[in-house]
């Protein structure tokens, strides 16, 4: 090869290298921006909107991916600048946006998403019906059935009037508006002593030396047309409440029946509450205002349930 041809070849190679170096130096890395951090409440989804810029060309591709988080998510449109993200659990997540320019260079950025627990709504149900058809007295008088609908009083007592008698009360509230899957946060049963009793000694609502009483959960269905002393609904001692003896003639009760109401609702087994003396010994009484008592409407049996 002549000296001239060799010189031209060397010059051509130098120019090629310089040209390649120039192209390499001129291709700047694109800049990705994944957007601002987000906070949402489960089970909401979120939309992430990113951008990509290239100082010496253009962005031709986007790619979203999950970097971290307690569970996998669904990235609806991973190849778009904006995409919805769907979650299956609460927690802290990080996502990455990668942008690619027209010469193959890439840039990345990340964004955090905090998924808060779902908002749980607490509801309160207050039940204090008038003339509750499922409020009943189960009674025996002189050994014979004397059961019937309650009138002025809902009671648990043992007395003599025309012969020895024993009274037990049963009352059911309508809980159908509470979902079976609800969590019962609290439930309180209010029973108000009758200021003017027509049974017992007809003076004192609470009387005797041993008037402690039980409030129990009824566990079987019953009907006012069939219930009697010999055909009483079954009850359970689980979660029963023993109301202690009182010497106060007019003691109102606020009873925590959360466990019983939870069982009624969650097991679809609402058959009501059962009242009876702990020891059914003559001349002891606990007499409460009934829902049929028009004189004291603000003292009717009341159930307040707070649930989620």
The rounded distance, in Å, linking the Cα atoms of 21 and 8 is 20
Do 41 and 180 lie in a common domain? no
pLDDT, tens digit only, all 308 positions of the chain: 555 555 555 445 544 544 544 444 688 999 999 999 999 999 999 999 999 999 999 999 999 999 999 999 999 999 999 999 999 999 999 999 999 999 999 999 999 999 999 988 899 999 999 999 999 999 999 999 999 988 899 999 999 988 899 999 999 999 999 999 999 999 999 999 999 999 999 999 999 999 999 999 999 999 999 999 999 999 999 999 999 999 999 999 999 999 999 999 999 999 999 999 999 999 999 999 999 999 999 999 999 999 99
Do 110 and 236 lie in a common domain? no
For residue 155, is it within any domain? Answer: yes
For residue 283, is it within any domain? Answer: yes
Do 106 and 169 lie in a common domain? no
Q: What's CA 262's distance to the chain center, in Å? A: 12
Say whether 100 sits in a helix, a strand or coil.
strand
Do 108 and 190 lie in a common domain? no
Q: Which of 75, 90, 116 is the last residue of a domain?
A: 116
Do 242 and 155 lie in a common domain? yes
Do 269 and 195 lie in a common domain? yes
CATH for 300? 2.60.120
Could you count the other beta carbons within 10 Å of the beta carbon of residue 292? Answer: 17
- Residue 219 main-chain phi, psi, to 5 deg: -120, 5
For residue 23, is it within any domain? Answer: no
For residue 97, is it within any domain? Answer: yes
Element (H, E) at 273: strand 273-277
For residue 22, is it within any domain? Answer: no
Count up the domains in the chain and report the number.
2
Do 185 and 91 lie in a common domain? no
Q: Which of 116, 138, 157 is the last residue of a domain?
A: 116
For residue 165, is it within any domain? Answer: yes
Nearest to 169 by CA among 284, 253, 290: 290
Q: Taking the chain, what is the end-to-end CA distance rounded to the nearest angstrom?
A: 94
Do 95 and 147 lie in a common domain? no
For residue 42, is it within any domain? Answer: yes
The rounded distance, in Å, linking the Cα atoms of 157 and 210 is 10
Task: Quote the domain boundaries for residue 237.
Answer: 123-307
Do 133 and 51 lie in a common domain? no
Do 226 and 293 lie in a common domain? yes
CATH for 88? 2.60.40.10
Residues, the chain = 308
């Amino acid at each position: 090869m002549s000296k001239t041809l060799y010189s031209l070849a060397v010059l051509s190679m130098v120019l090629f290298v310089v040209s390649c170096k120039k192209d390499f130096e001129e291709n700047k890395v694109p800049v990705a921006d994944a957007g601002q951090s987000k906070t949402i409440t489960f089970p909401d989804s979120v939309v992430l909107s990113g951008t990509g810029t290239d100082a010496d060309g253009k962005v031709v591709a986007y790619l979203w991916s999950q970097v971290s988080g307690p569970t996998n998510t669904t990235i609806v449109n991973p190849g778009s600048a904006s995409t919805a993200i769907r979650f299956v659990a609460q927690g802290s997540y990080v996502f990455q946006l990668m942008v690619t320019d027209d010469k193959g260079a890439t840039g990345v950025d990340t964004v955090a998403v905090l998924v808060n627990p779902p908002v749980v709504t607490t509801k309160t149900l207050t039940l204090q019906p008038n003339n509750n058809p499922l409020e009943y007295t189960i009674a025996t008088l002189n050994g014979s059935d004397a059961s019937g609908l309650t009138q002025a009083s809902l009671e648990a007592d043992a007395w003599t009037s025309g012969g020895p008698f024993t009274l037990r009360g049963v009352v059911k509230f309508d809980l159908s508006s509470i979902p079976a899957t609800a969590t019962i946060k609290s439930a309180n049963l209010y029973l108000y002593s009758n200021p003017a009793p027509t049974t017992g000694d007809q003076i004192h609502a609470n009387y005797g030396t041993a008037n402690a009483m039980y409030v129990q959960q009824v566990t079987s269905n019953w009907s006012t047309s069939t219930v009697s002393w010999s055909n009483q609904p079954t009850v359970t001692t689980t979660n029963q409440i023993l109301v202690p003896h009182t010497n106060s003639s007019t003691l109102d009760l606020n009873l925590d029946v959360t466990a019983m109401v939870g069982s009624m609702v969650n097991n679809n087994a609402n058959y009501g509450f059962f009242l009876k003396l702990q020891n059914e010994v003559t001349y002891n009484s606990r007499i409460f205002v009934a829902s049929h008592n028009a004189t004291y409407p603000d003292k009717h049996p009341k159930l307040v349930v707070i649930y989620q």
